Structure 1
Amino acid sequence: MTHVLETAGLCKEFGGFRAVSDVSLKVREGDIHALIGPNGAGKTTVFNLLTKFLQPTSGTIVLEGRDITGEKPAALARQGMVRSFQISATFPDLTVLENVRVALQRRSAPTYAFWLPGRVLDRLNARAMELLELVDMQDFAQTRAADLSYGRKRSVEIATTLAMEPRVMLLDEPTQGMGHEDVERVTRLIKRVSAGRTILMVEHNMKVVSGICDRISVLQRGSILAEGSYAEVSADPRVLEAYMGSDDADGDIGAGGEP
């Protein structure tokens, strides 16, 4: 299969501490690929390296055959790799529709569009509603984002990510802090929006990982410990040993969040 995102020998040092060590990752086109590991394994650091919020100490990152190691985050978004964050990022005083429209403005309108009258931007409403329907948020279009539950805010964030027309979506702890009902809804949503896209996600909930992920990479102390399907990695003695003592009731091998 074609690999849409690859790293080779990726390393990141902070002073004398090596947080990421020789990570060579291959994400197949069209897969939902999970990056998991115990607390402090380096998952978020790898995400920050991939999306260029951190520069690697050494190693390379390739997106669809192009070396993007020296690119800036905004350039990656324009090339089709878009990231969500652990903390839901919505504009609280804007409606759900307006939040999605902001993302559409960034994608399709000139930079000064933010200063244009709202009626001029109404042409974006139809596409915004299409995206809200995709994430089952059409009934909340006129609701202020501040008035939404946490899980529904995450749904809005996924809609705004889709507004950037990503080919590769990086989701950082998409179900963190959610109750059971929201977890199930967002899991179904991720599966739905994965059609025609590649998703790389950091996720601590092993029920989510086992239910929707095609491939899993397990990190330990900044290095890849194991890779494969959920059945393969959950039966790997090295993975079981790495997770010993972790307190997580969500799955067989479990994984906590990462600071």
Structure 2
Amino acid sequence: MSEFILETTGLTKEFKGFVAVSGVDLKVQRGHIHALIGPNGAGKTTVFNLLTKFLPPTAGTIRFEGEDITREAPAVTARRGLIRSFQISATFPKLTVLENVRIGLQRKLGTGFHFWRSEKSLNVLNDRAMALLESVDLGKFADTITGEMPYGRKRALEIATTLALEPTMMLLDEPTQGMGHEDIERVVALIRKVAENRTILMVEHNLSVVANLCDRITVLTRGSILAEGSYEEVSKNPKVLEAYVGSDDMADAHH
């Protein structure tokens, strides 16, 4: 088994003459929390969309667990355990928190498990859903209508519903975006916990989060990898500092 769970080679995506991602060779080590950072428009989201098959690459290959998955259908890739956590719009706002997690569990179990079958089968799911909620510190919100949840807790729920799909590797797209300090700390603690037995690749703007959480960091700019390494190495790299000039991100993270 390779130490790298995910590897891309020459990953490239062009949109009508505009190169959004250009020759990206990304290696994510098994068990790491790996961050993808860079100024706006650097191509971070496009890389995520390529990895999860929302977009076909113009060129290059993607290997997961040693298998070439470049041309695979999104659902097939997801079944392999490479799963992206969706923003809360992907959950059902009018259902309770428990019901949302239960739907995640049903998806994992596939069509063989229909929730109207029997009360008993539902209880099995309830127990599993409750255990998942407890694991992300949402037990007391089980009966809350999802749409009425505080913002930071909604992000924890997204992570819980993603965990229901039993990912080996989780892609988190800006998990702390729009959060206040207290919520950020809670979500960082949650990511750290979730990462204990899986690999995480995250796009994150908040560099103090990246500094505290991530084992390895890849800096993208204009669709290409500019630098890679630990936060220590990357934050001192003159090329990286220059790429962030005009944005106060790097400066802020140092304080």
Cα offset, 1:32, TM superposition? 0.1
Distance change (3 Å), C-alpha of 1:175 and 1:100: same
Name structure 2 gaps, 5 residues minimum: none
Matches within 5 A, 1:126-145: 126-145=127-146
Q: Normalization by structure 1: what TM-score?
A: 0.93
Matches within 5 A, 1:39-188: 39-86=40-87, 88-110=89-111, 113=114, 116=117, 120-188=121-189
| Cα deviation digits, residues 75-110 of structure 1 (max 9, x gap) | 111110110135553211111111100000011142
**Matches of 2:251 and 2:132, distance apart in 1:** 30
| Cα deviation digits, residues 20-72 of structure 1 (max 9, x gap) | 00000000000000000001000000000000000000000000000000111
Name structure 1 gaps, 5 residues minimum: 255-259
| Cα deviation digits, residues 155-176 of structure 1 (max 9, x gap) | 0110000000100000000001
**Matches of 1:250 and 1:196, distance apart in 2:** 33
Cα offset, 1:119, TM superposition? 5.6
Aligned partner of residue 48 in structure 1, secondary structure? helix
Conserved? CA contact 1:85–1:173, under 8 Å: no
Q: Which amino acid in 1 is paired with 2:128?
A: R
- Report the count of equivalent residues: 254
Q: Which amino acid in 1 is paired with 2:44?
A: K
Judge which range, 224-233 or 123-132, deviates more.
123-132
**Matches of 1:224 and 1:115, distance apart in 2:** 49
**Matches of 1:115 and 1:182, distance apart in 2:** 36
Cα offset, 1:121, TM superposition? 1.8
Conserved? CA contact 2:86–2:158, under 8 Å: no
Distance change (3 Å), C-alpha of 1:143 and 1:86: closer
**Matches of 2:157 and 2:55, distance apart in 1:** 26
1:231 is matched with 232
Distance change (3 Å), C-alpha of 1:10 and 1:232: same
**Matches of 2:233 and 2:74, distance apart in 1:** 34
**Matches of 1:76 and 1:152, distance apart in 2:** 28
> Once superposed, what is the RMSD of the aligned Cα atoms?
1.8
2:14 is matched with 13
Q: Normalization by structure 2: what TM-score?
A: 0.95
Cα offset, 1:122, TM superposition? 2.0
**Percent of aligned positions that are identical:** 66
